[in-house]
Structure 1
Amino acid sequence: MSTDRVRVVVTGLGATTPLGGDVASTWSGLVAGRSGVRPLNQEWIDVLPVGFAAPAAVDPTEVLPRPEARRLDRAEQFALVAAREAWRDAGSPEVDADRLGVVVGSGIGGITTVLSAYDTFKEKGWQRLSPFTIPMLMPNGAAGWVGLEVGAKAGVHSTVSACATGAESIGYALEMIRSGRADIVVAGGTEAAIHPLNLASFAAMRALSTRNDEPERASRPFDKNRDGFVLGEGSGIIVLESLEHARARGARIYAEALGVGYSADAHHIAQPEPEGRGIVLAMERALANAEIAPSEVLHINAHATSTPAGDVMEAVAIKSAIGDHPVVTATKSMTGHLLGGAGGVESVATILSLVNRLVPPTTNLDDPDDGVEIDVVRGEARALPEGEIAAINNSFGFGGHNVAVVFKTFHS
């Protein structure tokens, strides 16, 4: 590793997911192989081909004060809940506001606000619209609210790269610290898109599983009988900090954020490039940025959404770029796909795998598809070896976005 490069560490974790309203409950659910997918009971569900999703285990309105929740879109609510947990977990650090940043993104943004506000406008007129409608629907709203929460002045940014959003936000945050713009950055992703229009639209693409008779078994990454992803919601946020700043304040350190790699497929707006060259390139660039060899990567949290096109291609790409030695998991088998929130939640899971030396299982993987020639954890969680090890979180999104983030066990 370059001796003059700023080292960046993770000092805080926050999450609210289909498995739990905080990091501890989410992690215990992942390790236990518990599913957060369940049938939906809204009236509109009967007109759709898909009757299930992975809603948040704890509604954010149960956590936030009612006056505050009313001026936030649901995606913003999730982000604020997760960010507050992460900030507390980091010790609510005292930091020069000019050296504090935020990078929090969403793939879809305030979509439920857009749709409900338009219904209000049509049925009751513009006078009945909330004065917070614009701040609630704008894609950078979550970042803005988190920035206000912590008082960030180094820069508040919002990446929008579909399902790669959360991971790209973390990568951007890493670069903010390395470049000297900030000492601490709060980063991650959020999403709240469980709405009939979104479910219907994904169904029209034939992207969603229709396993209505067994919702908890619908998300089955790498399995030969997978038929699409399951829509989830929630947020994952981490606090990144320069090692120098963290040491100076005596912070507890989870892991080191070692590098990030980006690429674009330039192939199709929604379909992945069939040979996985963009995925390979993102992982290779992440290794180069982290200044490590493929042999040092012993764990990968795969993007693996349970779609027919993507899973095998990612498995082939992992074997090509890294090898068949890493222990791989696909946590979307339990959380569903949180879209823009996925990279944040899965980064939290990746970091905790390093901390606890334990990789959660991939559930519902009964019959690995042809071409899945990697070591995917099945059945029970698996232990990781002692010593210094690195892990990768993969995230890919519509538009051809590919992001790989590298974390490593921390050593002084």
Structure 2
Amino acid sequence: MQRVVVTGLGMINSLGSNVTDSFKAIVDGQTGIDKITLFDASEFTAQIAGEVKDFDPTAIMGKKEAKKADRFIQLGIHAAQEAMEDAALVTDNKVSDDISESFGIVAASGIGGMTNIEKNSVVCANRGPSKISPFFIPSSLVNMLGGFITIQHNLKGPNISAVTACAAGTHAIADAYKTIALGGATKMLVVGAESAVCAAGVGGFASMKALSTRNDDPKTASRPFDKNRDGFVMGEGAGALVLETLESAEARGAKIYAEVLGFGESGDANHITTPTMDGPLRAMKAAYSMAEKNNGGELKIDYVNAHGTSTPVNDKNETAALKELFGGAENCPPVTSTKGQIGHCLGAAGAVEAIIAIKAMDDGVIPPTINQIESDENCDLDYVPNTARKADVNVIMSNSFGFGGTNGVIIMKKYTK
């Protein structure tokens, strides 16, 4: 099978509109979580989120086209454009015809166009069905994220989507890897995007008691693995990665950020919203086993970007699964969650966090888990508390777990010839 590498990165979130600025702010321990401004949340139990600030979609697409696309699509287009430019694969924003048919996309989102679904439902109820926008459906479908981007960049290869809740971004990377490794494409663009900070989105998660209600102190509301964590904080944003065969990347002299060594996927078969330890553990074991085989032997993981949602159950279970995988807390590598900085980006989280982990390898620095205030006896690993750490990072693992008991894990290593 073909070896698969990462040659382009793009990202936008509540801390920055590109990879460099976002990662620097994350490493510096900053947080983009604040009071919600996208709608009036004053009557909601959760009133905080990691919103993307000062975003102008017309900077990356025409004004008429922007009206046809939900915000999650707009954010995804922004990240995709950065990744494609970073990979040096576009001229006038398009790939050449000689590679377009072997260049595909995997789009990922947990919910899709929830803002437009909410808006048009209100229009239908209050003003009647004739007032529903003709762009409502095209702007809301998850696969339209891929549709818009393939048109923009002339990508005519496989056009597929992952819609697996908070594991979608990681599953998209795995799907792109499979497609390339098995010869279905030479290059694949992965784009995970989410924008569900709206009344229905926040209200829905809040009604499940899944969100932090620490509204008076937004900056410390998301505190993964801390004893007093009380739920996750919603975030929005997008992450994009260009994957291609090693042969293709070397032939064109591309910068290679990482090689994808393995992935793991599993189902809990337990509960629609409550996670288990078993499902994530099996996904980690599967990823580790594949990565060792593809690496030609024993593999040492230097850093784990955890799912780390700041919910009582997830953080306890993920910690237990990691200790089981590595044979005890003393054998675990550093583990961090960056959701305290940018919130939980739901279906985009896997793509965004894979980029953060790759940057940790590239820059030689492990980002911190901020808001580590009081230790929890059930969360007893090295979470790199509050301050980033210089480190030689050669192999990373990134975890994503979603509602419905769907789990995804990806392992990558620094590329060396």
TM-score using structure 2 length: 0.93
In the alignment, what sits opposite 1:396? 401
State the Cα deviation string for residues 87-119 of structure 1 (Å, max 9, x = none). 010002545222111001110011111111122
1:78 and 2:85 aligned: no
How big is the shift at 1:56?
0.9
Structure 2 CA distance for aligned equivalents of residues 197 and 309 of structure 1 = 24
The aligned counterpart of 1:410 is: 415
CA shift digits 1:222-242 (9 cap, x unpaired): 000000000000101100010
1:146-185 equivalences under 5 Å are: 146-185=149-188
User: Which structure 1 residue ranges, 4+ long, deviate > 6 Å from structure 2?
Assistant: none
Query: Which amino acid counterpart does residue 288 of structure 2 have in structure 1?
Result: L
Match of 1:309 among 313, 317, 322: 313
> 1:10 maps to what in 2?
6
Please list every run of 5 or more consecutive structure 1 residues that lacks an aligned counterpart in the other structure: none
**Structure 1: which amino acid aligns with 2:325?**
A
**Deviations along 1:4-24, whole A, 9 cap, x unmatched?**
x31111100001101111111
Gaps of 5+ in 2: 91-95
- Structure 1, residues 290-331: CA drift from partner, whole Å, max 9, x if none? 125775101000000000111011011112113533111100
Q: Secondary structure at the match of 1:118?
A: helix
Structure 1 equivalent of residue 42 of structure 2:
46
377, 386, 400: which one aligns with 2:384: 377
The question of whether the paired residues in 2 share the 8 Å contact of 1:110 and 1:137 is answered with yes
Distance of aligned partners of 1:11 and 1:134 in 2 relative to their CA distance in 1, 3 Å threshold = same
Q: Please identify, of 59-68 and 281-290, the stretch whose mean Cα deviation from structure 2 is larger.
A: 59-68
Q: 1:135 to 1:48 in 2, by over 3 A?
A: same
Once the two structures are overlaid, the 10-residue window that deviates more, 166-175 or 251-260, is 251-260
Q: 2: distance between equivalents of 1:23 and 1:189? A: 14
Match of residue 115 from structure 1: 118
TM alignment of 1:179-194, pairs within 5 A: 179-194=182-197
CA distance in 2, matches of 1:331, 1:325: 18
Contact 2:58/2:66 (CA < 8 Å) preserved in 1? no
Q: Return the alpha-carbon distance in structure 2 between the equivalents of residues 44 and 128 of structure 1.
A: 24
The two structures have a TM-score, normalised by structure 1, of 0.95
1:278 counterpart residue number: 279
Q: Distance in 2 between matches of 1:290 and 1:261?
A: 10
Please tell me whether the aligned partners of residues 259 and 406 of structure 1 are also in contact (alpha carbons under 8 angstroms): yes
2:142 matches 1:139: yes
Amino acid at match of 2:114: I
Query: What is the percent sequence identity of the aligned residues?
Result: 39
Matched residues in 2 for 1:41 and 1:99: separation?
A: 42
Distance between the aligned counterparts of 1:121 and 1:245, measured in 2? 50
Equivalent pairs counted in the alignment come to: 404
Give the alignment of 1:223-234 within 5 angstroms: 223-234=226-237
Whichever residue aligns with residue 371 of structure 2, its letter is N
Q: Note closer, same or farther for the CA distance 1:140–1:390 as it changes in structure 2 (3 Å cut).
A: same
Q: Is residue 238 from structure 1 mapped to residue 241 from structure 2 by the alignment?
A: yes
Q: CA deviation at 1:63?
A: 2.9
For each residue in 1:8-60, what CA deviation from the matched residue of structure 2 results, as whole angstroms up to 9, or x when unmatched?
11100001101111111111111101001001246631211111111013424
Asked whether 1:20 is paired with 2:33, we answer no
Contact in 1 for aligned 2:105/2:155 (Cα 8 Å): yes
The residue that corresponds to 1:249 in the other structure is 252
Q: After TM superposition, give the deviation of residue 68 of structure 1 in Å.
A: 2.2
